[in-house]
Amino acid sequence: MALYDQTKSYALFEEAKKYVPNGIYGARTPNFLTFGSHPAFIARGEGCRIWDVDGNEYIDYMCSFGTNLLGLKHPKIDAAARAQMDKADCFTLPSDLWVPLAKKMTSTIKGGDWCVFAKNGSDVTSYTLAVARAFTGKWEVILAKGSYHGAHPWCQPHGAGVPDEWKSHIHYIEYNDPEGLKKIVDANRGKVAAIILTPHQHDSMRDQELPTKEFVDTVNGLAKSEGFLVIIDDIRCGFRLKLSGSADHYGYNADLQCFGKAMANGYPIAIAMGRDELKQAAGSVFFSGTHFFSGSPFAAAIATIDEIKASGAIEKIHKLGTMLMKGLSEAGAAEGVGVTLSGPPAMPYMNFADDPLFEKNRYFCGEAARRGIFLHPHHNWFVCAAMEEADIKKTLNVASECFKLTAKKF
Ligand code: PMP
């Protein structure tokens, strides 16, 4: 099999560095992937496939970091967005899709009695903290060490340019550690506004962990007895596990919930939702953004939710993801390479045994990329409903070859 040539991607990356600090920032830089083997820039996409600037085709298991649930260039979603764009997109006031989307979301998400709209996950996770603090009159917030809730100062993982004080009301627990949670609550008795959690633990660079019943019960129980709120950050899992929300899927009594990424199949919109009792406090928090009000993502979100329901997308990605996880475990074992597949099949993560620096993982994913399969070496992947069994089979064939190479190299 001829390996991909990515000359244009890397030339463009060098050029980007002249104009943009680090060329590309955040998780999209090739430095965070397998440098030299993953492409740096994408020219186009369709369904579950992307084509880089050199013209190479990939089956994309990052699904635009989770926004692509139904397929890129989805005819129904794009038609809905285009129909709004034909009437113009960003107005002085909200479009007439404001109420229809609010109705659609509140009738879809369990425990979501009202909603506010924004652009990014970070916008709404930060907003829900403010709502919890406004409602309870308390400042302290608990979160799980290593969980990603966005790029804002209180939650971003890197410290440059962020004074320590901006994280001073944040307390860290280990995910799935009820005793640790009890200790933090005890130490801050009467001062805790909220706990914010991802539905399950899906931090990068580690196996995913589903929440234990004991942990969920402890979170729900302590929130009730101590009077703090439960915020579920469903930005990454939302619309992939259960249509009514991942809090419902795992049994969290969420007071506030955050959605983004897949909810409009890639059109930029995020949403915070909450229980009725919190509506007044929510209304007292200042919240705004110039582009929060543009209409086409609203149209795309309504169409996306309808299409997830009509097409059975959630069941389909579960089935395909199960096939992928099983196939990869078997293929790794057949080549004598130990791998662990973790997390829900809709968004699996693969780790190599004895690979603390991710060298095997980076090598494996780099070789897969050079053969047309886009996998990430230390972030969970995503499965989308535009994939078919033939795509999974192709992926497993390439994976077998790459496991063989990995076994030889390490
Ligand atoms: N929360 C979670 C769980 C996320 O995965 C992300 C994005 N990766 C965010 C919040 C932040 O979302 P955004 O990048 O849209 O600001």
> So what's the pLDDT on residue 222?
98
CB atoms within 10 A of CB 187: 11
Residue nearest to atom 1 of ligand 1 (CA): 149
More confident position, 293 or 157: 293
Co-location of 240 and 380 in the same domain: no
Co-location of 142 and 184 in the same domain: yes
Q: Residue 182 corresponds to which tokens in the numbers above?
A: 């009890």
In a domain, 394, yes or no: yes
In a domain, 82, yes or no: no
Nearest to 265 by CA among 217, 307, 216: 307
Co-location of 233 and 102 in the same domain: yes
In a domain, 83, yes or no: no
CB of 150 sitting under 6 A from ligand 1: yes
Q: What is the CATH number of the domain that holds 13?
A: 3.90.1150.10
Which ligand 1 atom sits closest to the C-alpha of 120?
Answer: 15
Pocket of ligand 1, candidates 235, 246, 349: which has the most ligand atoms within 8 Å of its Cβ, to mutate? 235
CB of 67 sitting under 6 A from ligand 1: no
- Chosen domain end from 248, 267, 294: 294
Write the CB contacts of 267 (distance below 8 Å, at least 6 apart in sequence).
77, 81, 296, 297, 300, 301
Provide mean pLDDT across the span 11-30: 96
> So what's the pLDDT on residue 323?
98
> So what's the pLDDT on residue 353?
97
Provide mean pLDDT across the span 59-86: 98
Question: What does the pLDDT look like over 94-151, one tens digit per residue?
Answer: 999 999 999 999 999 999 999 999 999 999 999 999 999 999 999 999 999 999 999 9
Co-location of 103 and 211 in the same domain: yes
Residue nearest to atom 5 of ligand 1 (CA): 236
Question: What does the pLDDT look like over 349-404, one tens digit per residue?
Answer: 999 999 999 999 999 999 999 999 999 999 999 999 999 999 999 999 999 999 99
> So what's the pLDDT on residue 112?
98
CB of 121 sitting under 6 A from ligand 1: yes
CB of 125 sitting under 6 A from ligand 1: yes
**Is 1's pLDDT higher than 80?**
no
Provide mean pLDDT across the span 59-66: 98
Q: Is residue 106 a contact partner of residue 115, using CB atoms and an 8 Å limit?
A: yes
- The whole-chain average pLDDT of the chain stands at 97
Question: What does the pLDDT look like over 150-168, one tens digit per residue?
Answer: 999 999 988 899 999 999 9
Co-location of 40 and 177 in the same domain: no
- Chosen domain end from 261, 294, 327: 294
pLDDT band at 88 (very low <50, low <70, confident <90, very high): very high
Angle, in degrees to the nearest 10, between helices 389-409 and 359-369 = 130
Nearest to 84 by CA among 293, 308, 386, 385: 293
In a domain, 2, yes or no: no
Q: What is the CATH number of the domain that holds 162?
A: 3.40.640.10
Question: What does the pLDDT look like over 309-328, one tens digit per residue?
Answer: 999 999 999 999 999 999 99
Co-location of 122 and 267 in the same domain: yes
Co-location of 142 and 286 in the same domain: yes
In a domain, 113, yes or no: yes
Pocket of ligand 1, candidates 119, 148, 154: which has the most ligand atoms within 8 Å of its Cβ, to mutate? 148
Residue with tokens 């992928």: 324
More confident position, 159 or 254: 254
In a domain, 140, yes or no: yes
Question: What does the pLDDT look like over 169-225, one tens digit per residue?
Answer: 999 999 999 999 999 999 999 999 999 999 999 999 999 999 999 999 999 999 999
Co-location of 172 and 122 in the same domain: yes
> So what's the pLDDT on residue 119?
98
Pocket of ligand 1, candidates 236, 291, 378: which has the most ligand atoms within 8 Å of its Cβ, to mutate? 236
- Chosen domain end from 263, 294, 325: 294
In a domain, 339, yes or no: yes
> So what's the pLDDT on residue 213?
98
**Is 5's pLDDT higher than 80?**
yes
CA 201 to ligand 1 centroid distance, Å = 13
CA 405 to ligand 1 centroid distance, Å = 34
> So what's the pLDDT on residue 159?
83
Co-location of 160 and 105 in the same domain: yes
> So what's the pLDDT on residue 253?
98
Q: Is residue 299 a contact partner of residue 371, using CB atoms and an 8 Å limit?
A: no
> So what's the pLDDT on residue 297?
98
In a domain, 302, yes or no: no
Co-location of 332 and 261 in the same domain: no
Co-location of 26 and 120 in the same domain: no
* Domains held by the chain: number: 2
Co-location of 180 and 105 in the same domain: yes
- How many angstroms separate the CA atoms of 410 and 391, rounded? 28
Q: Does residue 161 come out as left (phi exceeding 0), alpha (psi in the -120 to 50 range) or beta?
A: left
Supply the range of the domain harboring residue 240.
90-294
